[in-house]
Chains A and B, each alone.
Chain A
Amino acid sequence: MNSDRGFRLLVFFGALGAILTYAIADESILTALLAIPLLVVGWRVTERRGDRAVPRVVVTLGILIAIAWAVVSGMGEGLSVAHFCRFTISVLVVKSFDRRTSPDLGQFVMLSLFLSIGALLTSNSLWMALALIPTLLICVWAAVGFQFHLGRAAARKAAGLKRSARPGPGAERIPGLGRTMTAAWLLAGAISLAVFLMFPRGLGADAFGQWGNAGVGMVTGFTDSVNLGEAGLISTSSAPVLDLTVRTIDPANESGGRLTIGAPDETFYLRGAVLEHYQDGSWTSGRDRGGGIQIPGGSNFAALSTQGAFRPADEQTRGAQVELEIIIRNARADNTPIFTSWRPRFVRFENPSRLRHDPDTGVMTRSGQSGRLRYFVTVDQVDRTPSLRPYTPPEPPPSEAVRALARDIVARAGLRSEVDRGDPWGEAAAIASAIDRYFDEGFAYTLDIQRPRRGQDPIEWFLLEERQGHCEYYASAMAALCRSVGVNARVVTGYVATEFNEATQHYIVRESNAHAWVEVEIGPNQWQTRDPTPVGEFQRIHRPEPTLASRARGVFDAVNYAWITTIVAFDDESRTSLVSAMRIDVAAIDQWAEEAAQRIRSGGRSLAFTALRNGLVAMMVVACIGVAVVVGGPVVWQSLKPRLLAVWLGLRERRREERAARLAHAGFYSRLLAALARRGVAKPGWRPPLDHARGLEDERLRGAASRVVEAYYGVRYGRSVLSPEAAGAVEDDLRTVEGRG
């Protein structure tokens, strides 16, 4: 890193990593395939040709073209993060062909960092994060290396040498740099972790529109209308859209215990839109989306009443129900469909939301903060909604041939060809089953369908001529056939949750899981879900045979889910519980944040400025804390240092005095040595005293000397003081050794 070559490699790999990270974030393989080879070629050629691979005019032209392209495309489509990132990538590629001075390399590092931030603003996926972290590490190392590079360049310039991107070989190894940078990284990481954990969430959200939200509005694969005869929006992408966790609420459990359920062979239909009106091959909902009621975010469920009003739910009123926890990875700010099973009873959002609920169809749309959306819905396991709604005959399909076919199907099943007006729901379920079975034979599933003739009803064309299509055709045909014989039916679009991850006990729903099916009214306002798509085809599309790749993807999905739930979905609730566990009182912070958010919400025209002000205040608070630690820490240390030093010195002095006091009592040892020397058995310097004493030949002398030495050991090393009795005994022994006793 410290050598010039190492620094240049870091710059190169930083740029490479940044482009790769953005390509992953943008899911743009084309970007990676185009930019990375060009960067590698440019870098290699430029390295070989002395930092100038192409004439400057080409580089200048390239950058001008990049700027012009960015301006033109920005004016056409509006400026966005994607524009900025693509522009940055193009400049990086162009500049890889021309790096003649040190600032060029610095610009490389800076552009790489900006591109990394662009990737952060584009996506918050795990793959992106996995690519981003090493890229950031490399870029920061390159930034550190650039300081050395600049220093060498300044010295070179002062020596009157020519400007160059190679100011000298540098040092191969700088002692202590690795340790220092590790400490710096740890400190910066600790600060970023503290900000991540402590910064109040929900403050000033969406004050500046969608800005700062990675990939907002990427709920794709789902449409709230069906247009037969046109190129469908059926997506085959495996991009995850939402995560579903299903729990049963056990009414017998007084504590309201929840049990996570789900299995690989169990399917959940998540309704997004209900389409009741058919005209000219198109199904629409036919209901306006105005109105809606504000419900607060937090831990309270709101009951979805048939009157469209909300009230806090009473836990005790629930029966056998299922709770769905759904995380939409990237939701829009307005009219995001709230996917749920039939029939939703209670809903709870983490953040304040404006919810529109249609009690007849159960369709909910939500407006509020964009980005990741997490909500909980409680649904009845059995639709037992009492209703006094009278039977309303459905609108029959326009095609007489379809109506005739429906009557024929029902008649062949041994049922009446028309619903009995006296008992309209008596045979509704049976009729629906008969029609559902009709699609089991003679029909094929395909996404590659032809268009019907102009003026021909697409349903009639599908049923009587083509007999192959995708789920929208099957659902439309079944709904039309049911309506032909007087049974109320409607087309529902949404997702099917089939991919159960056993490691995380949750379903992952992808774009390719978008689906259309039918709901049939089998009782007054009681709707039964029917899926006419052939079972085999359904299995092939939505539940393919597990392969090695799919298993590996399952492992990754589990990690990704952990990433989403812990990092991406980290919210105020998580923060509060975490901080509470750390025994920090966050009530004041939360109250302040809530008041600030309230002020922002009611801010009207000054919304953005208020948000900015609060954000800046919050940032300043964090910065002040940091500065206080940095500035105040040394001051506190300086003030404490003398006291601590005094205490330490006092302790040391006391120990020294004690030792001196002990040794004062150990003067007898000198007498012993002198006496032994006089008797001709002096202790050699290398021999331990006790060893020498025990090695004396004269038994009496040996015993006395050994006892004296043992007493000396006790005083010298055992930190004990001789008692008067022991001192007397030592004196007697010493006399013996001296020959006086």
Chain B
Amino acid sequence: MKRQTASTRPPSSRHTVVTMAGLLHGLTTLFLAIGAINGQNNLLFWAFGLGLGGILVSGIFSGSGMMGLRLGRHTPHTARAGEPMQFRYEVRNANRLMPMFGLSIAESTRGASPLARAPVAFLHNAPARRSPIAAAPATPNRRGVISIKSVAVASSFPLGLMRKIMVFDLPATITVLPARVRLRDDLVPRPARRGHGGAATATAIGPADEFFGVREYVPGDSPRLVAWRPSARSDTLIVRQQGAPPPTIVWVCLDLPEHAEALQRERAIALAAAMIELLAQRGASVGLIVRPGEATRLPAPGAWHARRLLHMLAVWGTEEQAEAKGAPAGPAKPPSGAARAFDHARIRPDHAVVVVHATRERSPSVPWASHLYADDIASYLAPGDTIPEILLPPAPPESRRDKWRRLAREFFMVDPVGEVVTEATDPDAARDESNARPGRAGRRSAASARTRPAPSRQREGASP
């Protein structure tokens, strides 16, 4: 994946925070000083000196170590909702001698963010005149845009008495695309009829039967393509070139009525995104209509256009889009009729249309359209694929009885040996492990959701 890189740079600000441990240490040192003065106990004088030394040493070592730090960051341009991504940091220690230890690197995001928690990386040490790399995993829990404002590098080394913080201005934007869904191949629509009877002129060279032109032979060309007559006329070998068939034009129409639930909307958007990706892979020209906002992208072939459509879906109706527009998130405009939307979109009879519905309601649309329903997402998946965790319905709220049972279990019972969380470095593995623990109400196991037998609606089958 292509990454965006911010080169190492000095901090924009730095400040120091006295921690609770530092406050306690200061009070204890004061207490020791009073005890030493009052009791003339020499060992207390020594202990007081040691306490004072601890404060000074903390200031000196953390201050001088942090002074020469520079930070750079590598982040991806895009991410997928529900899939882990990684922020990588290059910490350059410009000090000649002084290493720095225990560095926490935390992102500071701007406004609403698809990240539930700001990613934090931890670096054990940054040796002098070296540039170690730290990585922070993060998993966006929805689509949208992550706007990163700055990165804070903090350390409370050596004793945790004070926390030195340096803020680096490293603005970046990451688009979180809708959750990844793999659709069945047979869902790709075919045009109902060719409106112009195949009279369209080829615009590119391809394997079709249609003649495109001639050119000189170059070694490697198939002898079957040699046009013998022109060759005889020109005294050089001439080969024929066939034209490519014009790409299939498919409109993906996203139907997001106002009363649709959030999960239904997300599923519909994920289905639309998956369909766009699938069509783009097949070489189709894909256009997008999003209702009721009536946003329209005219059909065009190619990966770049598909990416534009995905970016549009990524921010559609999100808080980030609302912040950018200064309006509340969600559908802003009243729903309008499908026909009106299609009029605007200039759908012709030879265009294929896929309508992705967030709800079960089938709005009036073109008669030859295929229909996908968000609620039936499981039935559209390619064999072996599962519904992403973030597109699963949230766990039902914990009943009072379950809550008391859980509290009682935590309070009285000892968890069975061998089911404790062991040291896990892989966040996914650890999360799976913790999810797999029995009796954790309110935490739905993704693994179990994936292996669960298909619900009854999965047997409904696809509409197309």
A contacts, CB < 8 Å to B: 2, 4, 48-57, 106, 110, 114, 117, 120-121, 124, 129, 136, 140, 143-144, 146-148, 150-152, 154-162, 164, 166, 168-171, 174-177, 180-181, 184, 187-196, 199, 201-214, 216, 369-371, 567-570, 611-612, 614-616, 618-619, 622-623, 626-627, 630
Query: Are B117 and A158 touching (Cβ within 8 A)?
Result: yes
Query: Are B160 and A201 touching (Cβ within 8 A)?
Result: no
Q: Which 7 A-B pairs rank lowest in CB-CB distance, beginning with the nearest? A: A212-B39, A50-B420, A195-B49, A212-B35, A192-B49, A188-B53, A191-B53
Q: How far is the CB of A668 from chain B (nearest CB, A)?
A: 44
**Given A169-B423, A195-B53, A213-B38, 20 other A-B contacts at CB below 8 A?**
A50-B420, A51-B420, A55-B413, A148-B102, A154-B106, A154-B120, A157-B117, A161-B430, A161-B431, A175-B99, A176-B101, A188-B54, A188-B56, A195-B48, A196-B49, A213-B40, A371-B39, A611-B37, A615-B33, A622-B52
The CA-CA distance from A124 to B136 in the complex, in Å, is 49
Could you give, for residues 149-169 of chain B, a 1 whenever the CB lies within 8 Å of some chain A CB and a 0 otherwise?
A: 000000111111000000000
Query: Are B411 and A56 touching (Cβ within 8 A)?
Result: yes
By a CB distance below 8 angstroms, the chain A residues around B157 are 144, 147
Q: Cβ of B415 < 8 Å from any Cβ of A? A: yes
Query: Are B158 and A570 touching (Cβ within 8 A)?
Result: no
By a CB distance below 8 angstroms, the chain A residues around B35 are 121, 211-212
Query: Are B414 and A49 touching (Cβ within 8 A)?
Result: yes
Known: A2-B124, A110-B21, A158-B117. A56 touches B410 (CB 8 A): yes
Some 21 contacts from A to B, beta carbons below 8 A apart, are: A55-B413, A110-B24, A150-B156, A154-B120, A158-B118, A162-B421, A162-B434, A164-B421, A169-B423, A174-B125, A184-B57, A199-B49, A207-B37, A208-B38, A211-B35, A212-B34, A216-B39, A371-B41, A612-B34, A616-B30, A616-B33
Could you give, for residues 398-414 of chain B, a 1 whenever the CB lies within 8 Å of some chain A CB and a 0 otherwise?
A: 00000000000011111
Q: How far is the CB of A719 from chain B (nearest CB, A)?
A: 32
Query: Are A205 and B116 touching (Cβ within 8 A)?
Result: no
Query: Are B127 and A175 touching (Cβ within 8 A)?
Result: yes
The CA-CA distance from A211 to B36 in the complex, in Å, is 9
By DSSP majority rule, is chain A's interface helix, strand, loop, or mixed? helix
B contacts, CB < 8 Å to A: 21, 24, 28, 30, 32-50, 52-54, 56-57, 59-61, 63, 99, 101-104, 106, 116-122, 124-125, 127-128, 136-139, 155-160, 410-415, 417, 420-425, 427, 430-431, 434
By a CB distance below 8 angstroms, the chain B residues around A144 are 157-159
Pick from B49, B99, B136, B159: contact of A194, CB below 8 A: B49
Q: How far is the CB of B236 from chain A (nearest CB, A)?
A: 63
Q: How far is the CB of A236 from chain B (nearest CB, A)?
A: 28
Query: Are B427 and A567 touching (Cβ within 8 A)?
Result: no
Known: A124-B42, A159-B137. A181 touches B120 (CB 8 A): no
Query: Are A205 and B37 touching (Cβ within 8 A)?
Result: yes
Q: How far is the CB of B101 from chain A (nearest CB, A)?
A: 6
The CA-CA distance from A393 to B49 in the complex, in Å, is 62
Pick from B33, B122, B139, B156: contact of A155, CB below 8 A: B122
Query: Which single residue of chain B is at the shortest CB-CB distance from A51?
Result: B420
By a CB distance below 8 angstroms, the chain B residues around A202 are 40
Query: Are B42 and A57 touching (Cβ within 8 A)?
Result: no
Known: A176-B99, A630-B60. A213 touches B39 (CB 8 A): yes
By a CB distance below 8 angstroms, the chain B residues around A121 are 35, 41, 44
The CA-CA distance from A406 to B60 in the complex, in Å, is 80
Query: Which single residue of chain A is at the shortest CB-CB distance from B103?
Result: A151
By a CB distance below 8 angstroms, the chain A residues around B47 are 117, 120, 192
Query: Are B127 and A180 touching (Cβ within 8 A)?
Result: no
Query: Are B49 and A55 touching (Cβ within 8 A)?
Result: no
Query: Which single residue of chain B is at the shortest CB-CB distance from A615?
Result: B37
